Amino acid sequence: MPTERRNSGVTRTPGLNQLHAIDAARGIREGLFSSEELVQSCLDHVRAVDEKVCAWAFLDPEHALRQARAADEWRLEGRAVGALHGVPVGIKDIIDTHDMPTEDGTVLHAGRMPDRDATLVARLREAGAVIMGKTVTTELATYAPGKTRNPHAPDHTPGGSSSGSAAAVAAGMVPLAVGTQTNGSVIRPAAYCGVFGFKPTFGLISRHGVLRQSRWLDQIGVFARCVEDLALIAEPLIGFDENDPDTRPVARLPLLATATQDPPLRPWLAFVKTPMWEQAEKETQEAFAELVEHIGERVEEFEFPAQFRQAIDWHRTIMEADIAKSFAAEYERGADKLSASLRGQIERGRRVPAVDYNRALDRIPALNGALNELFEQRCDVIVTPAATGTAPRGLDSTGDPVFCTLWTLCGMPTVTLPLMRGENGLPLGVQLVGRRGDDARLLRTARWLVNHLQQPQEDSP
């Protein structure tokens, strides 16, 4: 499908929207097709399917195409291009963009137009990405659902809070999207929608210009349709930002180079049921028993000490106290326009004493210390469910984040891989969790596992 940009209209190449981002970027770089064609293909697909999926909070096709044409012109002038040159990316609607509204999933912020891009959006633009549009979030990235439906079954939740980002990637409307996770808001929707999700280590990606729920829990994550694409988009996002006090000046992580390597030795995996295991559906429990058997000899079950059960409480203490502060203005201004569940969180959060809050925060290094021992002695990554089961039926809840909470609290890097299906045919995510800072190895192991499981019996996602 070779092409050059023409002045009148654009070649329509069906199926470009289904390309992996890494192939799309290569195709643009090598002149096989233009960014405009790619974006047009995505927009055509949006028009075809989004009425049912409702993934977008804001999408101006002309604005997306303008960015694509600018990217094409830039390339045709022979200038250097970034890793994402011409590739469209969906952005969760709590992440500021200077050229589109950012409404945070609440009528209280309707019409909000930020002056500036969030740091991560600026980094995407530097890497050449086309900012396709803003994807639907739950109310203020908490629990009350937005309008998005699960692309695999419209009467099932897509998960949340990054509902639109997961659904847009799953439905083929965009190859990449960005979301956020304060509890399970990247991994859960990715798992429910059957895409690849990646939440890097706490502090790697700046949250400046992103709606804050909790300084200690908020983390950025990405959605894609293969492991390489997770690395492709995460790598340019990572970096120090003086406006986010929890980012650190560190050497750039070679995520893509590492993720595309084969591991030097076959990885060790620890299957961890976690103390939340009883909350997993029977089907999930059985599927993971089979998965572990299928992986073979280098996976070992490991049981966490009981203290890990309390992680859920510590996480709630921090999150609710932080939400109460972060959304105090919204509560003052229009409590009646907030969902009852969010009002409840805020009201509980107001009663959290600072002493309990700080005690809960102190648990994070202690938990990481215990987890580091596991990584040092027993495994490269942890294998565990991404959610209690497949996406629940109904659109009044976004499902249970219980299988994400511990890893979010600890700030560990985690991916979900769409490697299994439930009896209802819906995707069932396999979550891999790495050691803090060991994001590159996590992605390398994830790619290895995908290949390993696909080799003998075409157990394709």
Q: Shortest Cβ distance from residue 215 to a copy of itself (Å)? A: 8
Q: Choose which of 241, 322, 330, 380 interacts with a copy of itself (CB under 8 A).
A: 322
Catalytic residue among 34, 41, 92, 163: 92
Q: How far is CA 278 from CA 94, 173, 264, 273, 401, in A?
A: 33, 36, 36, 9, 14
Under the binding rule (CB under 8 A), the answer on residue 273 touching a copy of itself is no
Q: Is 299 helix (H, G, I), strand (E, B) or coil?
A: strand
User: Catalytic site residue 161?
Assistant: yes
Under the binding rule (CB under 8 A), the answer on residue 378 touching a copy of itself is no
In the region spanning residues 184 to 243, those forming contacts with a copy of itself, defined by CB under 8 A, are none
Nearer to a copy of itself, 372 or 454 (CB): 372
Nearer to a copy of itself, 216 or 308 (CB): 216
Answer yes or no: are the C-beta atoms of 230 and 198 closer than 8 Å. yes
Under the binding rule (CB under 8 A), the answer on residue 329 touching a copy of itself is no
Nearer to a copy of itself, 142 or 258 (CB): 142
User: Catalytic site residue 92?
Assistant: yes
In the region spanning residues 336 to 355, those forming contacts with a copy of itself, defined by CB under 8 A, are 349-355
Answer yes or no: are the C-beta atoms of 438 and 413 closer than 8 Å. yes
Q: Shortest Cβ distance from residue 377 to a copy of itself (Å)? A: 21
Q: Shortest Cβ distance from residue 354 to a copy of itself (Å)? A: 4
Q: Is the dihedral of CA 79, 84, 85, 89 positive or negative?
A: negative
Nearest of 69, 63, 3 to residue 30 by alpha carbon:
3
Query: Cα separation of 141 and 354, whole Å?
Result: 24
Question: Which residue do the tokens 């590159």 mark?
Answer: 440
Nearer to a copy of itself, 48 or 329 (CB): 329
Catalytic residue among 161, 162, 165, 206: 161
Query: Cα separation of 214 and 26, whole Å?
Result: 38
**Two tokens, residue 383:** 């294998």
Cα angle value 331/336/342 (rounded, 5°)? 55
Answer yes or no: are the C-beta atoms of 98 and 124 closer than 8 Å. no
Q: Shortest Cβ distance from residue 318 to a copy of itself (Å)? A: 8
Q: Choose which of 192, 198, 304, 357 interacts with a copy of itself (CB under 8 A).
A: 357
User: Catalytic site residue 339?
Assistant: no
Question: Which residue do the tokens 């023409």 mark?
Answer: 6
Q: Choose which of 47, 112, 359, 378 interacts with a copy of itself (CB under 8 A).
A: 359
Nearer to a copy of itself, 10 or 352 (CB): 352
Answer yes or no: are the C-beta atoms of 440 and 254 closer than 8 Å. yes
Q: Choose which of 107, 113, 328, 329 interacts with a copy of itself (CB under 8 A).
A: 328
Strand 381-385 versus strand 130-135 pairing type:
unpaired
Catalytic residue among 165, 185, 206, 326: 185
Residues near a copy of itself (CB under 8 A), total: 17
Nearest of 190, 194, 132, 133 to residue 160 by alpha carbon:
190
Nearest 5°: phi and psi at 408? Answer: -70, -45
Nearer to a copy of itself, 45 or 212 (CB): 212
Q: What residue ranges bind a copy of itself (CB under 8 A)?
A: 249, 321-322, 324-325, 328, 349-359
